[in-house]
Amino acid sequence: MYRSVLRPLLFRLDAEQAHEVAMWGLSLLDAAPGVAKVLRRRAIPERTSLRMHVAGLDFPNPVGVAAGLDKNAEAIVGLFALGFGAVEVGTVTPRPQPGNDKPRAFRLKEHEALINRFGFNNEGMQAMAGRLRELEWRPAPVGVNIGKNKDTPLEAAVEDYVKCADALSSLADYVVVNLSSPNTPGLRQLQEPEALAKLLHEVRRHVVGRPLFLKIAPDLGDEAIDAVVDVARDCGSDGLICTNTTLTRPVDHALAKEAGGLSGRPLFARSTEVVRRAFQRAGGALPIIGVGGIFDGEDAWKKICAGASLVQVYSGFIYQGPPMVKDILDVLETKVSEAGLASLSQAVGRDA
Ligand SMILES: Cc1cc2nc3c(=O)[nH]c(=O)nc-3n(C[C@H](O)[C@H](O)[C@H](O)COP(=O)(O)O)c2cc1C
């Protein structure tokens, strides 16, 4: 139904309009939590072998929504209705901001990829806090991904992250420091060890009683990944999210010249390598959420075997639609039983 009817309709719109329509549709379920609960039960039958316990949190299944899909926490109920094992909202900044000029999102259909340069368009932390306060149904963890305003100088970035942490961490199940968007000038420089240590140290003090994750870019070299892993561990981070979108263009396409971060199928290989490297460096001691180019259960299984304890999807969801969650879970369940494992958690890092 999605691929044959809905997707062709949505893909007639430009990428951002299609996104707005889809999010509006999902947000309607906010007013009907009873319906959402029934839909979720139908979407994903209970699968005990796929439950994950990560950073002190229980995830009913390992497939989460990646940040950027629900930037303002407007469609959490609708996304849970589809069966996701977690929903990460944001990136949110202290003050509302419009983001970059349109058009700022492009589909590279032939490659099942997207390029975006949204630039953290969002309604700000207070609007998000209001919505999270009203959220009554949480069948799985809700993460909040935080960032800095575009006009905040890099030297003052820590203050933005601290403001968001103060306003939102008590309303979230986990918090993500996003230093890896390519669309906020200079942001990725904060992944350098000295700046990173200062920032994580400070934010850690403000995220009380919640796991703190750090989301990193796929464009870091191997040594830089090692350094990030070391700093993240030393500064009390509870895990890494690998990875955000890439500035590289491993595809040949007329739209490849558009500025912004590339996601989807062409990102899979590099983002999986980053998962593997980070897992090896941390010796498995730092849980990893693997994201980048996951389209099906085989992809998810590869990420998990490379070292991811959980996975997230964005572009794959745009191309595959809602059935994707159940399809991935079906394959993972089969993989677990074929490998003779008692649970998916035993597969984490088995190829690393
Ligand atoms: C349109 C779009 C907007 C995004 N916005 C954010 C964001 O606000 N914060 C963030 O941390 N990641 C953002 N991302 C990155 C995704 O969360 C994810 O890390 C990346 O797209 C790789 O996963 P995928 O290949 O499954 O899309 C965005 C991605 C896309 C495609």
What domains, with CATH codes, occur in the chain?
A: 2-347 (3.20.20.70)
Model-level pTM?
A: 0.98
Q: Is the CB of 68 under 6 A from ligand 1?
A: yes
- Percentage with pLDDT > 90 across the chain: 86
By alpha-carbon position, which residue is closest to atom 19 of ligand 1? 244
**Residue 185: pLDDT band by 50, 70, 90 thresholds?**
confident
Among 111, 246, 314, 325, residue to substitute to test ligand 1 (most atoms within 8 Å of Cβ): 314
State whether the Cα torsion 217-212-324-29 is positive or negative.
negative
What the block records as the tokens of 28 is 């309607």
pLDDT higher than 90, residue 46? no
Q: Is the CB of 118 under 6 A from ligand 1?
A: yes
Q: Which residue has the tokens 């390519």?
A: 182
pLDDT value of position 351: 92
- With contact defined as beta carbons under 8 Å apart, do 198 and 155 qualify? no
Any ligand 1 atom below 6 A from CB of 320: no
Q: Which amino acid is at 304?
A: I
* 5 band by pLDDT with thresholds 50, 70 and 90: confident
| More confident position, 167 or 8 | 167
Decide: 33 and 77 in contact? Cβ < 8 Å. Answer: yes
> Ligand 1: distance of its center to the CA of 89 in Å?
11
Provide mean pLDDT across the span 239-251.
96
| Backbone phi and psi for residue 231, each to the nearest 5 degrees, phi listed first | -65, -45
User: 195 with 177: CB under 8 angstroms?
Assistant: no
Looking at residue 59, its pLDDT comes to 98
**pLDDT greater than 80 at residue 1:** no
The radius of gyration computed from the CA coordinates of the chain, to the nearest angstrom, equals: 18
24-33, 226-235, 289-298: range with lowest mean pLDDT: 24-33
Give the separation between CA 48 and CA 41, rounded to whole angstroms. 14
Helix (H, G, I), strand (E, B) or coil at 118: coil
Let me know if 209 is exposed, middle or buried by CB neighbors in 10 A (0-12, 13-18, 19+).
exposed
Nearest atom within ligand 1 for CA of residue 267: 25
What mean pLDDT do residues 197-208 have? 96
CA of 206 to the centre of ligand 1 (A): 25
Confidence of residue 75 (pLDDT cuts 50, 70, 90): very high
User: How high is the mean pLDDT of the chain?
Assistant: 95
- Which ligand 1 atom is nearest residue 245's CA? 20
pLDDT exceeds 90 at position 196: yes
End-to-end CA distance of the chain: 37
Q: Predicted confidence band at 219 (pLDDT cuts at 50, 70, 90)?
A: very high
How much is the pLDDT for 251? 94
CA nearest ligand 1 atom 6, residue: 68
Q: Where do the DSSP E strands lie in the chain?
A: 52-54, 57-59, 63-65, 86-92, 105-108, 113-116, 142-146, 174-178, 212-216, 239-242, 261-264, 288-291, 310-313
User: What's the gap in Å between 65 CA and the centre of ligand 1?
Assistant: 10
pLDDT at 15: 87
Pairwise CA distance, residues 136 & 59, whole Å: 18
Which residue's alpha carbon is at the smallest distance from atom 4 of ligand 1? Answer: 68
Does ligand 1 come within 6 angstroms of the Cβ of 313? yes
- Top pLDDT among 239 and 13 is at 239
pLDDT over 90 (residue 152): yes
Tell me what the mean pLDDT of segment 294-313 comes to. Answer: 98
The strand pairing partners of 146, in sequence order, are: 92, 177
> Lowest mean pLDDT: which of 42-46, 120-124, 270-274?
42-46
Confidence of residue 3 (pLDDT cuts 50, 70, 90): confident
Q: Which of 183-187, 201-205, 346-350 has the lowest mean pLDDT?
A: 183-187
Check whether the bond before 153 is cis (ω within 30° of 0).
Answer: no
Overall average pLDDT of the 119-140 stretch: 96
